[in-house]
Chain A
Amino acid sequence: MLKKEYIWLALIFSLVLGIRLYFAFQTPYFSEDAYFNIRQVENIRNTGWPLFKDDLSYSGRNFLFQPFFQYILAFFNLFMPLNLVCKLLPNIFASSLIFIVYLIAREITKSKGAALFSSFISGFIPIFFAETVNSVSVFSLVIPIMFFLIYSLIKINKHEKYIGYFIVSIIIIALMHPSAFLLIIALLLYLLFIRLEHLKQRRAELELIIFSTILVIWLNFVIYKNAFLVHGQFVIWQNIPKELLGQYFSQLNILNALFYIGIIPIVSGIYIIYKYIFKKKNRRIYLLMGFALSTLFLLWLRLIQLKVGLVFFGVILVLLFSKFYSDFILFIDKTRLSRYKTIFIALIFFVFIFNSIVPTISYTTRVIKETPSKNEIDAFLWLKNNSDEKDVVLASLDQGYLINAVAERKNVIDKNFLLIKDAEQRLENVRIIYTTHYETDAIPLLNKYNIKYIVLSKRSMSDYDITDLNYRTDEKCFELVYDKEVKIYKSLCKMEER
């Protein structure tokens, strides 16, 4: 007979996964950023190797990234269609966070109820849910593994096998995403807390943390060496043009946090941090606090993107909530209010529904609506069938990956700026091409990048605040070759110097 909590867990997992898949399958397409990973998976499937040297992005460039996640998807692509792999697997990975949160919460609180409640909340962290539901995001796997690693660290004194789990997890994370650095800072902060609170330093823990620090530093230097040489320490900001930097690395504010994470995790998390800094000692809470503080610290210094930071912060706060919940229930049990315990639990639950589930659903709905439409995909497919392989296509920044993945054509610009020396100039030139009134300004730039087609979608019109290309009236130079919701112009002229 299966234990009751496992049944509940299975139900929560099914519910979360079910809702995720419901949203994911509302559209046959993916968010724009997903197409980078989709291309990588396709390439791994076909050649066995990631696409590090790409002829299409920026009309020819090198990529730098850790491809472990793409390899996993490519493996499943051997048995399943790519679309299904990209819809299903990231959501399964993301939903598995429920189990890990349960395990950690159970260790921290020794309470099944608190652990179950936290695992349920972890399924509905708005930012994590929305950003991983349809974007083939590496965070769908990084987050669960990161927290599994924390769980392994908590358990290493119980059984040696967790040492092996920890080592494997840290190697996987280091091969998946540079956010492994966040983990290292968190672990080092944890060591600091242990020292400051005069708790006994466990030898195996210390050894694992030393090893992890060295591993992550080394792997990231090896992978991003060229980027460090080209951009120096600015590689942290991924060579994102100054114009866009504010968008990606915006300052954390409380309103953002409340919306993206939920009020219950934030309030409870802050209370627990306060309690265990000033009143009580608990090494497991310090481990989580190390994580929370390292994320806050990096967000404050704008060293990690806001969305990335909020995802990590959100999960940590959910775990801290489990401690808050179990302490709260214990407290209620000791008071006269114990007969109203169920009411309190129900109240927390309803507040959670309104402050986490509802924002999750509304945010995710918005994200799904922003997925490329059929009209846009059709336009890119038209390009694929009606243009030459060597043609360069101009679209807005967000659609760069679509040009490569769907149209299978070269683009002028996309969101991966690492190792691109003229990123600022390109961004500026693309803006000029879309907004200038004069073809004498546009044509030299079109010639410079050998642009054959210009895509004008709703997205580019809204990005550049235009209704059409101002110089389109010169039909000798600009032929409207596709005219539906999306317009595609063909550039015919060349500017010659006398």
Chain B
Amino acid sequence: MRLTEKNTLVYVMLAALIIILIPFLIRLLFYNNIIIGEESYYHATIAKQIIEQKSLIHDPNYLFNPYHLVLASIGYFIEVDLASKLIPFLLGMLSVLVFYLILKDFKIEIRERFFISLILVISPAFIYLCVISNTHSVPVFLTLLGIYFLLKKKTIFTVLSLISFAAAVPFGIFNALLVIAILLAYLIKEKSKKTIILLSIIILISAAFMPVYFQEKTEVIQKESILQSTISDLGALIGIGVFNILLASIGFILMWRKKKEHIFIFLPLLVMLIGLFYAGYAILYLNFMLAVLAGHAFVRIRNMDWQVKMIKNLTILLIICGLAFSAVSYLNRVSNMQPDNEIIKSLEWLGHYSNQDEIVFSHYSKGFWISSVAERPVVTDKMLEYFPNAKERFNDSLEIFYSRNLKNTRTFLNKYNISYIWIDNEMKQGLVWEKEQQGLLFLFRNNETFNNIYNNQGIEIWEIRKEV
């Protein structure tokens, strides 16, 4: 296959399209086109509220993110649910295009460009970016766009670069620091006055957004180990494949020898690696860097003078299989992720059965589904840590889950005015309880307090009988 400028980009975009479409097709065919994930529902709910109220959310507990505005703006014209799928998809495709053009501007050889882009497109983190409605698809695209325009010499492009970076900055402190690091690296490389002006403006904008970045947060939810939260093969939702890491490590060692030449890679890389410890989503940005390093390593391994040709061919085959395996494995996982038909059905049922203000109790990871599909308020959800009484809420929810004292549990149920409890198989199989008849599961046998109103495929809904 002879690679030319024309066909390389086509192949890359085609590969991206096929990879990204697979989960959407599976959801369409087997899951009634249900949106994937948990946070997708949160963003959709906020966007719907913005459309309804025709203004920003005024709730003091609301954590502002520009993505909600984007989602609401596009959701105003097409349905929010459709926008939730279209935005990450389109931005993902555009990100690949811009990324490829950036590589071209860096005069990376065509074959290496091809492999780098391909490695990016099949990486788990990229698949996440394009398939699940998330707050990062917009700033990732804007950051890439900013870099692309930055590399052009004309003033108009510098202005466009400023606009792109400035638009990316409000999405979070990490985005701001990353943009600053990119500009700093460029400044060290190019030493231009334009870059100094650009950098100064970005710093000012970042400073202006400081109050937005730093919202009070109480750490209550236990964090996974660094391995489980960064490696997709070990279960990370936003993660990197093992082979991507392996190749990228080799690429890093190879490029480190010419670190001054590659300052544009290493400085932002450093920021991203540090950011990884504070914000798991830094992987989504890091992924692009890792693709560059991995692609570089792959090409070097391919071009290396091997003493034993058989080993060379076997090794390259293995690497390809390893990368492909991570991708296939992740695609399978994400396509079959919850919520499934049964969960949605139960929540829709709950929405019909219950009254509007009746509060539902469940595990915090289910909160967004309940709020969005059943349209009922919840006690806890994944934004719990931004609530003013987060620790108290979290501890109280643990009490409700694990206490075997009915009086005690009743007190907490009354405290939050809980009308329903929603539980599913995942909660019964380790997420909350590891043993049967543990805590609340034991108390359910008291039918003066709990009435089982729904029980299907492991999903149970219990109504709390009011005390007379």
- Mark A residues whose CB is within 8 Å of B: 160, 163, 167, 203-204, 207-208, 210-211, 214-215, 217-218, 221-222, 225, 228-229, 232-233, 421-422, 424-425, 428, 448, 497
Contacts and interface: CB of A to CB of B under 8 A. Distances in A.
Contacts of B319: 214
A214 B315 CA distance: 7
Given A167-B314, A207-B308, A233-B234, A448 B436 contact: yes
A203 B311 contact: no
Contacts, number: 76
Contacts of A217: 242-243, 246, 322
A208 B235 contact: no
B311 A207 contact: yes
B227 A167 contact: no
Interface stretch (B75-83, B150-158, B266-274, B427-435): B427-435
B430 A421 contact: yes
Given A217-B246, A217-B322, A421-B430, A232 B314 contact: no
Query: What are the nearest 7 A-B pairs in CB distance?
Result: A203-B307, A232-B228, A218-B322, A207-B311, A211-B315, A214-B318, A425-B435
A214 B233 CA distance: 15
Contacts of B356: none
Interface string B82-119: 00000000000000000000000000000000000000
Interface in B298-356: 306-308, 310-312, 314-315, 318-319, 321-322, 325, 329, 333
A215 B318 CA distance: 7
Size bin of chain B's contact surface: 20 to 34
Contacts of A214: 243, 246, 315, 318-319, 322
Contacts of A497: 445
Nearest to B250: A210
B32 interface: no
Interface string B4-38: 00000000000000000000000000000000000
Contacts of A208: 308, 311
Nearest to B329: A225
Given A203-B307, A218-B321, A225-B233, A425 B434 contact: yes
A225 B210 CA distance: 42
Contact of A163 (B233, B234, B235, B308): B308
Interface of B: 224-225, 227-228, 233-235, 242-243, 246, 306-308, 310-312, 314-315, 318-319, 321-322, 325, 329, 333, 429-430, 434-436, 445
Contacts of B315: 207, 210-211, 214
B46 to A, nearest CB: 30
Nearest to A208: B311
Max chain A CB contacts within 10 Å: which of B234, B242, B243, B445?
A: B234
Contacts of A448: 436
Contacts of A229: 234-235, 333
A465 B312 CA distance: 59
A203 B309 CA distance: 12
A422 B322 contact: no
21 contacts: A160-B308, A163-B310, A163-B311, A167-B311, A204-B311, A207-B315, A211-B315, A214-B243, A214-B315, A217-B322, A221-B322, A225-B233, A229-B235, A232-B224, A232-B225, A232-B228, A233-B225, A233-B227, A422-B434, A425-B436, A448-B436
